[in-house]
Amino acid sequence: MNRTPLVAGNWKMYKTIAEARQLVPELVRGLKEIQGVQKVICPPFTSLMSVKALLEGSGIHLGAQNLFWEKEGAYTGEVSPTMVAEVCEYVIIGHSERRIYFGETDETVNRKIKAALEVGLIPIFCVGETFDENEKGLTVSVVRRQVEAGLQGIELRQNGHGDVPLLVAYEPVWAIGTGKAASGEFANEVVREIIRPALASLFGEKIAGSIRVLYGGSVKASNAAEFFEQTEIDGALVGGASLKADEFIGIVCAAAVI
């Protein structure tokens, strides 16, 4: 399948507005000449409007890190899909940190994905097993359950360009922020043997083959090519390295070269 690579930077809870205003112009300068790969930046909610203005005309897309599934209501501290869609094109949903620290489940992730799609946002849907689950040989059952439960009851269609408005990010929890990335071969096997078959069971082979699957977990400029050269990996969801302009630019370069 001819799937356009995509690299997204998840800033997590880093960068004030002032710091974002320093970083984004560096990214815009460094990324403007790189063709053949889509770029997405996902800063904290507080910086979205400032970053959006700085990205104007750059070709770099903007994403949020989360949303709530209700359109409006008495939900103090939450941000609705409609609010996110006013500013962003993409939204990260189901990140392991949301699952671990904030009690998100397959059911709530499913509700968020449905709500995002309803307002035209493109979800970056995260799945991945913990260290204990990996050690116990549960990678297959855990990742398949997350994919199937997270996308239950959802209909996906290709647009005129063959694109599907959903990305899946395989992020083994034991590799996130630890400096210990999975090998490219291992990650590719998980996508080929678990994620795409699960997607095919939900949407059919054609749609499953069109959905871009990213890898996330200690991706750096120095190891990105190992993942991007794999046949089933279509880019990366980058954490810590997205906070450094030279690192993120290097990762995008590696995706463009493959």
Q: Tens-digit pLDDT profile for the chain (258 aa)?
A: 689 999 999 999 999 999 999 999 999 999 999 999 999 999 999 999 999 999 999 999 999 999 999 999 999 999 999 999 999 999 999 999 999 999 999 999 999 999 999 999 999 999 999 999 999 999 999 999 999 999 999 999 888 667 899 999 999 998 888 887 789 999 999 999 999 999 999 999 999 999 999 999 999 999 999 999 999 999 999 999 999 999 999 999 999 976
From 170, 150, 152, select the one nearest 109 (Cα to Cα). Answer: 150
CA dihedral 225, 231, 235, 236 (to 10 degrees): -70
Residue with tokens 């990140």: 95
Q: What is the pLDDT of residue 224?
A: 97
CA distance 151 to 112: 10
The pair of structure tokens assigned to 58 is: 């750059």
6 close to 37: Cβ distance less than 8 angstroms: yes
CATH architecture of the domain covering 6-257: Alpha-Beta Barrel (3.20)
Q: How far is CA 92 from CA 36, 44, 124, 186, 246, in A?
A: 22, 11, 5, 23, 23
Residue with tokens 């993120």: 248
Q: Indicate whether this model's pTM tops 0.85.
A: yes
Q: How far is CA 194 from CA 14, 18, 170, in A?
A: 32, 42, 11
Q: Which residue stretches of the chain are H helix? A: 17-31, 48-55, 81-85, 96-102, 106-118, 131-135, 139-150, 184-190, 196-203, 205-210, 224-228, 245-257
Among 97, 171, 226, 247, the active-site one is 171
Among 95, 104, 226, 247, the active-site one is 95
The pair of structure tokens assigned to 11 is: 């800033």
Question: Is 171 marked active-site?
Answer: yes
Q: What is the pLDDT of residue 258?
A: 65
8 close to 236: Cβ distance less than 8 angstroms: yes
122-144 b/e (C-beta count within 10 Å ≥ 16 → b): bbbbbbbbbeebbeeeebeebbb
CA dihedral 25, 27, 33, 39 (to 10 degrees): -120
CA dihedral 38, 178, 221, 41 (to 10 degrees): 30
DSSP state of 33: T
Q: What is the pLDDT of residue 181?
A: 76
Could you give the 3-state DSSP secondary structure of residue 64?
strand
Q: What is the pLDDT of residue 46?
A: 98
Q: What is the pLDDT of residue 157?
A: 86
Q: What is the pLDDT of residue 248?
A: 98
**Amino acid, single-letter form, for residue 178:** T
Kindly report the backbone phi and psi dihedral angles of residue 21, in degrees, each rounded to the nearest multiple of 5, phi listed first.
Answer: -70, -20
